[in-house]
Amino acid sequence: MQKKLIAAAVAGLIAVPALAQTNVTISGRFAAGWESYKLSGPGTGYDTESRVSDQSSRLIFNVVEDLGGGLKAWGQWDLRGAAGGGLDIGTITNGGNSGVGFMGSWGKFTIGRWDVHYGEIDGAIGGNRAGSLQTLLGNGIMSQVSGNGAFGVMANGTRTSNLLMWDSPNWNGFTARLAYSTAFVGANEGNTNFAAGDPGGGRAWTGALRYNNGPWTAGLSYWNGNVESRVPAVVVGDQRSTRGWIGYTFGMGLKVGFAYDRSKLTNAGVGAGDVSRGAWNIPVSYEFGPHKVYFAYARAGDASNTPGNSGAKAWNLGYDYAFSKRTSAGIFYTKLNNNTNGAYDLFAVPGGNGATVTRGAGGDDARQIYIGMAHNF
């Protein structure tokens, strides 16, 4: 449950009178567990690793000031833990959804960095209460493109920085989003070296339309991103991606969804050309009392401009138990199998979105067993 701090008390604690009319909300999530992660196949030479992993625990500060006339100023600071394993609070950074802007009856305007496009599927029809990030197939295999030696993750599989974004109000279940980034690839932000290519060429834009009303949910999202460098010998990998989804929740607690994604890497690298693939995903969940079970299956087809058998499939099975509205724990099994020339991986594997070892060797497979808990506050 979110805890609102009285403005006068905040002002007294930090001695900043300007906060006297600002509402401050603190919320967040603790999520961690034990996992057994395994890479296998012709190219890895690795076996099983057992480790404790943080699953994007966060601490969020949100402020809102009423400016009058229906206009409000707002800001959010989302602190995240380290990308690697463990719970080392000394490595917390401002890595989450953070920004500042205005909002009113016309919607909400944001300047900052935010999750856009790649997380729409799991946010609408997938996801779970206490699983690992690797169980999110909409963020994983559905957002990755692999083919002809190239690999890319749509919208980087993380927050898009340098973002200007508008979110609509809710119109009878419909919501919309439009966003523009001046440079969505972190390594190219602020690149003013003319010799590195075209420093003004980097940009991205995205748009989404969603419906969520009663038992039905559906949506469509588009992503269009260009990286900055245009040096002929440098891998470029501009991105184009369209995804749609639909889901229905039955009265007895059963929820079924379907999603399709078509994504492309244009000018993917030297000799690679354009690489595109289609992928689909079916997530199913069933909730009864405090119990909830999950199943999901996803498949990426063969990529264009690539030797055959370059696709992959992934599935997971899980269960979690809600001790309260805020605390849950569960156990999950997730498996990804690459075809002979496929190089996909699970989402947000420590060491990179798609472990480098797996990406570099076609036909390698990944598996995770996860036991963890989550507490939202």
Q: Which residue has the higher pLDDT, 230 or 208?
A: 208
* pLDDT for the residue 361: 60
pLDDT band (50, 70, 90) for residue 224: very high
* pLDDT for the residue 305: 85
pLDDT band (50, 70, 90) for residue 150: confident
Average of per-residue pLDDT across 365-375: 95
Report the alpha-carbon distance of residue 113 to residue 75 in Å, rounded.
12
* pLDDT for the residue 51: 86
* pLDDT for the residue 12: 43
- Is residue 194 predicted with pLDDT exceeding 70? no
pLDDT, tens digit, 9 for 90 and up, residues 92-101: 566 899 999 9
- Is residue 196 predicted with pLDDT exceeding 70? no
Report the alpha-carbon distance of residue 77 to residue 72 in Å, rounded.
17
Other residues' Cβ atoms within 10 Å of the Cβ of residue 140: 31
pLDDT, tens digit, 9 for 90 and up, residues 267-315: 766 566 789 999 999 999 999 999 999 999 999 999 998 888 899 999 9
Residues 6+ apart with CB under 8 A from 14: none
- Is residue 203 predicted with pLDDT exceeding 80? yes
Structure-token pair, residue 153: 């993750």
Cβ-count burial of 294 within 10 angstroms (0-12 exposed, 13-18 middle, 19+ buried)? buried
Number of residues in the chain: 377
The angle subtended at Cα 50 by Cα 48 and Cα 52, nearest 5°, is: 150
Average of per-residue pLDDT across 32-43: 86
Average of per-residue pLDDT across 150-167: 92
- Diameter of the chain measured on Cα atoms: 66
* pLDDT for the residue 35: 93
pLDDT, tens digit, 9 for 90 and up, residues 5-33: 433 333 343 334 444 468 999 999 999 99
* pLDDT for the residue 267: 74
Q: Which residue has the higher pLDDT, 231 or 117?
A: 117
pLDDT, tens digit, 9 for 90 and up, residues 337-358: 999 888 898 998 754 444 444 5
Beta-strand ranges (E) seen in 289-364 are 291-300, 312-322, 327-338
- 3-state secondary structure string across 197-249: CCCCCCEEEEEEEEEEECCEEEEEEEEEEECCCCCCCCCCCEEEEEEEEEEEE
DSSP bridge partners of 299: 280, 313
Q: Could you tell me the pTM of the whole model?
A: 0.87
pLDDT, tens digit, 9 for 90 and up, residues 170-190: 999 999 999 999 888 755 555
Instruction: For the chain, give the percent of residues with pLDDT over 70.
Output: 79
- Locate tokens 């800001």: which residue? 75
- Locate tokens 């748009």: which residue? 207
Average of per-residue pLDDT across 253-277: 87
Structure-token pair, residue 88: 């080392």
Domains delineated in the chain: 3-376 (2.40.160.10)
Instruction: For the chain, give the percent of residues with pLDDT over 90.
Output: 63
The mean predicted confidence, pLDDT, of the chain is 85
Report the alpha-carbon distance of residue 373 to residue 285 in Å, rounded.
18
Which of these ranges, 32-36, 325-329, 358-362, has the smallest mean pLDDT?
A: 358-362
Which of these ranges, 21-25, 230-234, 274-278, 324-328, has the smallest mean pLDDT?
A: 230-234
* pLDDT for the residue 227: 81
